[in-house]
Amino acid sequence: MYAIPPPEPPLRLRDLIDAMRKLGSSVRRVQPPAAHVSDARGAALAVTTCDGAIVSVNRSAAALLGYASADLVGKQLAGFAHDEDRAAVEMHLCGGTDEAFRSFDVTLTDRTGRRTSFHVYQQTLASDASGGPLRLTLFVEPVVVPAEEISRSAANAEWHDDAQHRRATWLSMGQQHERERLAAELHDGMGQALTLIKLMVEDARMRLRRGQVDDAAQLLDATVLQIRDTIGEMRQICGELRPLALQRLGLPAALSTLCRRVEQSSERLRVVFACGIEDGDIPDHLKADIFRVVQEALNNIISHAAASEVHVDLQGDATTLLLSIRDDGSGYDMHPLSGSDAHSNGLGLTGMQNRVEAHGGAFSVSARSEGGTEVAASWRI
């Protein structure tokens, strides 16, 4: 397996956004209603060459295979297939070069050797240095519906016709899927870190018994650093589940704190926050998603926009909730996005869109006539 250099010329962010929109529209047309559920942390996406080599991959897609994103860049997707599945995977990945959109099923093997079936959707994105198509690739794990659930659905016509009830059911199944993934992260990450700390402390105790005080002291110092890293990892996991400021202060205060922190961490960026709605008037199920959308948008602005001022505006009335993040930077259609950029930001625009639309909202990214970019979202409440 060899490393794939970033495509030349680099992908433009505008091209990536257009490909995401086309991919989402095509998937909605061909996907049976409620047949699949996306990962709760965002869609699993990668950019691949025409023969299935990975140019960039976000964290959600990498987690499906049990790797870090950086470990997968340059690898062939077919290399993660079981021997008996590899020929079929290569055929799917290399076929249909003239099709702008296509979908197929593959079975891949993760780091532990477990085989998992995925439904793959691909949208042509651009051309690489050799002139071949680059493809935006979405991985979706099929949801297996228990037989008793199907029986209850068939027996209850009223339930079957209630679209809102069905969406709630699939969301519940997705949450269960995410709990299982989080349990795996705690076991593989925190569990191994705590085991290492235990071994380091036992080693230091044995050295003390042998009179090797200096060696034991050095080992304990290293153990303290390991404990600090583990605490940081635990805080990160907890923060992904529920931002602490949001839980303690409410959404408007948490967003204000976030904007101040971003402004203080940047010497040249001014962040203005305005809120015209009380925390109690914002539905609880939207608060975490709104916070994450603002957080991701500000991260993107800092990384890519070269902006000097950002306006974060949250407004609402009795029926509608409106969120906008406007900057005076270079504009989303002016920034070239290379493979390394896509890896570093985790293709966060799709994550934001997924969060908003999961609760029936509308999401858009547009270039402002006076310069800069506006990220907007709205929900009916």
Alpha carbons 230 and 247: distance in angstroms, whole number:
23
Taking the mean position of all CA atoms in its chain, how far away is CA 311? 24
Backbone angles phi, psi at 211, to 5 degrees: 85, 10
Taking the mean position of all CA atoms in its chain, how far away is CA 162? 30
Give the helix/strand (H/E) hosting 314.
Answer: strand 309-316
pLDDT string in tens for the chain (381-residue length): 444 444 444 556 566 667 777 777 777 666 554 344 333 345 788 888 888 889 888 888 888 888 888 889 889 988 888 888 788 888 877 776 678 888 888 888 888 888 888 888 888 887 655 667 788 888 887 655 555 554 555 555 454 455 555 555 555 554 555 566 566 666 666 777 888 888 889 999 999 999 999 999 999 999 999 898 888 877 766 665 666 677 778 999 989 988 998 898 888 899 999 999 999 999 988 998 899 889 889 988 888 888 899 999 999 988 999 999 999 987 655 444 444 444 344 446 776 787 788 788 899 888 887 788 999 999 998
| 273 strand-pairing partners | 312
Alpha carbons 170 and 38: distance in angstroms, whole number:
10
Find out whether 294 and 312 touch, Cβ atoms under 8 Å.
yes
Asked whether the whole model's pTM tops 0.75, one would answer no
Residues 58/63/64/70 CA torsion (nearest 10 deg): 60
